[in-house]
Structure 1
């Protein structure tokens, strides 16, 4: 199992938890959209363990 998506999701949560300190501009819609696309792409990947 690849832990990169889990780590990335944790990283995104860290950013989201600091919006009260950094402001909502720290998570612009364009950036969030790219992150959702990236996580979806990781979900579609086939690893050797899946075959």
Structure 2
């Protein structure tokens, strides 16, 4: 049975690395598009506050 254990080890190894690579590529691809949409709609309004002491 050691050959079967080694086969499962190889299969699990590749499955884990393929899933890690897929997650990394999805994170890297979603990040720039999200930042550009936020930066284009970003507006800063400058206002002054008058303090009133009680």
Same fold per superposition (TM over 0.5) = no
Shorter-chain TM-score bucket reads 0.3 to 0.5
After TM superposition, the score normalised by the length of structure 1 is 0.39
After TM superposition, the score normalised by the length of structure 2 is 0.37
* Larger RCO, structure (CA 8 Å, separation 6 or more): 1
